Amino acid sequence: MSLAPGVGLALGAAVGAAGRLAATAGATPLVAAVLTVAAAVLLTRGLHLDGLADTADGLGAFAARETALAVMRKPDIGPFGVAAVGLALLGQAAAGAAVLARPWPYAVVGVAAALGSGRLAIAFACRRGVPAARPDGLGALVAGTVGPVGLAVGAAAVAAPALWAVPHRPWQGPLAVLAAVAVALVLVRHAVRRLGGVTGDVLGAACETAVTVAYIGVSM
């Protein structure tokens, strides 16, 4: 989990370069952004989107803790999950179009900062003191495993390159990273209050939420 931000940066740089290459080849920025988002989903096998959908269904049910966790374990997706995934993908593609319309270095770094922010949010959700919602599953394996040094290194690794995400406004990229992680942590705090801790689904939801917010932040 401490290495997650670095993985996000590498993934973002790869799909960002592919998206910018598509734009250079003649694709419109929106089409290039859709291809970039689709590539990220494919390479992660939709794992985090599945977590976002399950978390939205569980928290949206306004039910007791055990019922909410049971809803999250079901293989189907309810209306809250569909809406959450749809809005996240729309937001990422729409904001990504503005990012990929920029020159090469800014476009690639912008996408890398967005995906790095998502994995940085996962690291913060796994910081010491955050419990697991149940004794089994991914949440139980990784909850509380990331210490302050890992968080500091991960934050610096994502925020530093984000200085080159927005032309002529170097402060905007790191600010977008900060905002993305902050919004994701609000979600995690709500999940801990409702569920008693984090699950693998909550980590996925935190990731996709942070990615979407970071995309929007670097697109402005």
Q: Which stretches of the chain score pLDDT less than 70?
A: none
> Distance between CA atoms of 112 and 161, rounded to whole angstroms?
9
Q: Name the pTM for this structure.
A: 0.97
The β-bridge partners of 146 are 127
Are 68 and 58 in contact, with CB atoms under 8 Å apart? yes
Residue 117's nearest CA partner among 147, 160, 84 is: 160
Q: What is the pLDDT of residue 62?
A: 82
Q: What is the pLDDT of residue 137?
A: 87
Are 19 and 35 in contact, with CB atoms under 8 Å apart? yes
Spell out the residues 6+ positions from residue 155 whose beta carbon is closer than 8 angstroms to its own: 5, 120, 177, 181
Are 32 and 22 in contact, with CB atoms under 8 Å apart? yes
Q: For 130-139, how does the pLDDT look when each residue is reduced to its tens digit (9 = 90+)?
A: 999 999 888 9
List the domain boundaries for the chain: 4-219
